[in-house]
Every structure is written in C-alpha cells, then in structure tokens.
Amino acid sequence: MPSETHRRQRRIEIAEATWRVIERAGPTGASMREIAREAGYTTGVLSHHFRDKHELVTFAFELAIERSTARAIAASQDAGLVDGLAALLPLDQERRRLATLWMVTLAASRGETAQAAQMQRHYRQAQQALLAVLHQAVGAGSEQESAELVEELLVVVDGITVNALTDPDSYPPDRQVALLQRAARRRGLEPDQGTDRTPLRPGTSRSR
C-alpha cells in the first residue's frame, strides 16, 4: 500500500521536526505552529496526520525510543556491551536529540496520565528488547549476574545522560564515555581503551 507507506513517511518527517523544536524550545515551547514551520508544512497538514499535539508528541517520543534502541542493539551486536550502552549516551547531535526527547518528554508527561501511561508502556517494551540483546552481549556469568550487571549499567547510562543534557559543558563526550567505562570496569568488564568501537572482553575487576 504505497499511500500507507507515504503516510508513515510523512508522520516520521513531522516527528523528526518535532524533535528539533523540542530540543531547542522545550516541550512547552513546541507549539503545533512552530512544528509545522520547522517541518515546512501548514498546521492543516499536521492536523491531517495527528489528531492533536498529544498524539504527535507521543508518536515523536516513541520514534525516538525506537531509533535509539535500534542504535544500541546494533552497536551492542557489532561491538559489545559497552558500545551498545554508549550508543544511548548524548555523544553527538543525533544521540543528544534522542536523549533530550527521552528526558523532556518523560518529565513533562508526568500528570497527564493516559499519555504518560502509553509512553511508559512503549518505553518498557523497548527496554525489554534492549535488555535481551545486552544480556547476550555480556556473554559471561550466570543469568542473574548478567541481568544485574545490565540493570546497573543502564542506571549509570541514565544518570550520565541526565547530567550531560542539563549541564553539557561539564559533561563533554569523553567524560561521559570515561564514566561509563569506569563503571563497566568496576563491574569486572574490561572495555578496550580509546574508541567506543572496540569489543568488550569479560575480565577481572581491577581498579584504575
């Protein structure tokens, strides 16, 4: 169905414009008019594709989660656990935008219950898919150890992300990666130095 494909493509295009507007103006400043201007459409076209701002922001959030989960899964399969996790950090403009969407949308959706619940559900599903892949990437230890390891490192990623988004000057990419690698080492994983391209070898915990 080419028209269905076209419709999906148009929704994605509008969602990506929404990311850019939310990134610079925050969720409050992201009016339908501003998003339409950013996307290069009239607000009429937006209304044709999304019932209201809630539906648009929810779709944009879900797309951001899918996009960043897919990045993390690919990086984890290519290069190992720590690279998979690093794919979630706001290390470049694209990842920064996806992480911003994650944070501001979750924060702003508190109190708007139906929307928040839907986004939560979607987020948890994406996390489950990611956990399964990261779990495989650990490749050592018991199932429970591996689950705990991934859980702890995801919490570290979220903590680094919040700090990096709200105080970018203090958290340049190399500090973010160093913090993640240090956390991985503390847990007995030995990522290779240098890039975030290198596979991860399970090893013994050693202090820096």
Q: Least Å distance between CB 83 and its own copies?
A: 19
Residue 110 binding its own copies, by CB under 8 A: yes
Integer Cα distance of 152 and 158 in angstroms: 10
Question: Cβ distance 137 to 84 under 8 Å?
Answer: yes
Instruction: Out of 27, 80, 90, 191, point to the residue binding its own copies (CB under 8 A).
Output: 27
Instruction: Out of 92, 143, 167, 174, point to the residue binding its own copies (CB under 8 A).
Output: 167
Residue 78 binding its own copies, by CB under 8 A: no
Which C-beta is closer to its own copies: that of 45 or that of 152?
Answer: 152
x/- binding map, residues 136-165, to its own copies, per CB under 8 A? ---------x--x--xx-xxxxxxx-xx-x
Instruction: Out of 124, 139, 195, 201, point to the residue binding its own copies (CB under 8 A).
Output: 124
Amino acid at 159: G
Residue 132 binding its own copies, by CB under 8 A: no
186-189's contacts with Cβ under 8 Å and 24+ in sequence apart are: 187/149, 187/152, 187/153, 189/81, 189/82, 189/138, 189/149
Please choose, out of 19-27, 91-99, 128-136, 195-203, the segment that lies near its own copies by the rule CB under 8 A.
19-27
The pair of three-digit structure tokens given for residue 197, joined into one six-digit string: 């391209």
Please provide the distance, in angstroms rounded to a whole number, between the alpha carbons at the two ends of the chain: 56
Instruction: Out of 6, 8, 29, 172, point to the residue binding its own copies (CB under 8 A).
Output: 29
Which C-beta is closer to its own copies: that of 195 or that of 205?
Answer: 205
Kindly give, in sequence order, each residue whose CB lies less than 8 Å from that of residue 40, ignoring residues fewer than 6 positions away: 17
Residue given tokens 């594709």 in the structure block: 49
Q: What are the Cα distances from residue 139, in Å, to 47, 54, 142, 192? A: 48, 41, 9, 16
Q: Which residues bind its own copies (CB under 8 A)?
A: 23-29, 100, 103-104, 106-112, 120, 123-124, 145, 148, 151-152, 154-160, 162-163, 165-167, 170, 179, 182-183, 186-188, 205, 207-208
